[in-house]
Amino acid sequence: MMRQRSNLPVLGCKPVCKRRFPMNIVYLHTHDTGRYIQPYGFAVPTPNLMQLAGEGLLFRHAYCAGPTCSPSRAALLTGMAAHSAGMLGLAHRGAQMDDYSRHLASFLSRNGYNTALSGIQHEAPEAEMIGYDNILGNPDFDMSVFDFDSVGWDLHNAKAAAEYIQEKKSKPFFLSFGMFNTHLNFPQADPEINPAYLMPPPLFHDNRANREQWAAYLTSAKAADQCIGIVLEAIKDANIEDETLVIYTTDHGLPFPRMKCSLFDTGIGVSLIIRTPQRHGKGEAVDALVSHMDLFPTICELAGLSKPDWLQGHSLLPILEKKADSVREAVFAEINHHVEYEPMRCVRTERYKYIRNYGETAYLMPNVDASEYRSFVGEHGFFHGEKPQEMLFDLYLDPMEKVNLAHEDKYRETKLQMEQKLGNWMQATGDPLLSGAVPIRRIPQSG
């Protein structure tokens, strides 16, 4: 199934400039995956992503701008902090961006691209608000429903994306292919994956229930990878690999405590693979700090488009072309509204992480996805702990972020420097939290 929109002009929006060469763009994104795929050294059955990494450049230290679904995606697809884009909560709860003409799909459509969405989007309450030329596959997905045949749904949309890729087009295209996997609820574990021989992530207590849940995650990741393989094969079969930019990433960390909806690295750390038509950095990995906000300006430079003035990210082209080892010294991330209001901000450099909690010190159970693991840690006191107002971590010595140094005399100067970096960023990006509690902008809900 495909919907098309009419090519109505957008007032005040003109093409920015002519491209140096035609380049298709395929944006592949999974849900709640963090870095738990094979290219990052984990025993996860994702051979297609492993192949993509071998053909492109792997970013070992990429971070989202907000570890909840809609703010993360809004920041990536506008090149702005989520609060700058106006996305302060979840789209399926009515939150929306201030201006959808700043969305990458809308921008590219104005600049001569045919744009298409297949599968998940989570940056608008309704996909039609974004302005894609084509909405493929099953466009009527309810983002508030988590218990359904996600494997079949993703497969259906992968096939729709593949058909779109293979169609003849008169201009370059931008395709966003979003998968529900690896979001909870996971599919039933593949019987070929034996939980007895699995090791869950380091934050998990190693017991049978957690191993079984990890087997279900691996099954979900395997399903997503198979869908990615279908899309990559379609690009190859259409003989357009040498004129197509492929980007793979995810929105944030795994859907478990201290991961999704947290500002620890397990929450904001994401996988990122970029395969350019020129095969920049083929089969290599880089350690540069990278933000999701850097992808929009990178796409502009690779496609020969002038960058719009709202962008806050930095192009990764100097890294891709090996002209620079890094393009930024710090990344920033935020939480505002998830299920409940939880205002937090952080800044991360190569060595240090500073987190500021502007809300309650209690852990908010509704902001942690329901799972066997949430039940396990909840039964054993996780939600009786407290989130300090300030946290500082030395990531060289404490990569798991367990020892809070915010009040240690030895780190006083470091904390002040990090606090200043965060404050300067909040000022520069017009963070509404500086003026007090942040209300969520919602659209009226029908029904």
Q: Where are the strands (E) in 258-413, listed by range?
A: 269-270, 272-275, 284-291, 331-337, 341-348, 352-357, 390-394
Distance CA 126, CA 112 (A): 24
The 10s digit of each residue's pLDDT in 237-267 is: 999 999 999 999 999 999 999 999 999 999 9
Written as six digits, the tokens of 119 are 């599968």
Distance CA 57, CA 272 (A): 8
Bridge partners, 135 (sequence order):
3, 117
Residues 101, 159: one domain? yes
Residues 122, 245: one domain? yes
Distance CA 123, CA 92 (A): 9
Distance CA 166, CA 234 (A): 7
Q: How many domains does the chain have?
A: 2
The answer as to whether 188 is a domain residue is yes
Residues 224, 344: one domain? no
What is the pLDDT confidence band of residue 443, given thresholds at 50, 70 and 90?
low
Of 281, 307, 328, the domain-final residue:
328
| DSSP category for residue 429 | T
Position 21 scores a pLDDT of: 57
For residue 108, give its domain range: 23-328
Q: Quick one: residue 192, left, alpha or beta (phi over 0 = left, psi -120 to 50 = alpha)?
A: alpha
Residues 33, 140: one domain? yes
Residues 278, 363: one domain? no
The answer as to whether 84 is a domain residue is yes
Position 22 scores a pLDDT of: 75
Of 309, 328, 347, the domain-final residue:
328
Across 44-70, average pLDDT: 98
Distances (CA, A) of 296 to 80, 138, 194: 9, 26, 41
What is the pLDDT confidence band of residue 16, given thresholds at 50, 70 and 90?
very low
Across 165-191, average pLDDT: 96
Q: What CATH number is associated with residue 80?
A: 3.40.720.10
Please count the other Cβ atoms lying within 10 Å of the Cβ belonging to residue 441. Answer: 15
The answer as to whether 18 is a domain residue is no
Residues 228, 344: one domain? no
The answer as to whether 401 is a domain residue is yes
Residues 51, 192: one domain? yes
Residue 226: pLDDT above 70? yes
Residue 210: pLDDT above 70? yes
Residues 279, 254: one domain? yes
Residues 256, 353: one domain? no
Indicate the angle between helix axes 208-237 and 47-55, nearest 10 degrees.
50
The answer as to whether 1 is a domain residue is no
The answer as to whether 241 is a domain residue is yes
Q: What CATH number is associated with residue 411?
A: 3.30.1120.10
Distance CA 312, CA 102 (A): 12
The answer as to whether 343 is a domain residue is yes
Residues 301, 343: one domain? no
The 10s digit of each residue's pLDDT in 271-319 is: 999 999 999 999 999 999 999 999 999 999 999 999 999 999 999 999 9
Of 306, 328, 350, the domain-final residue:
328
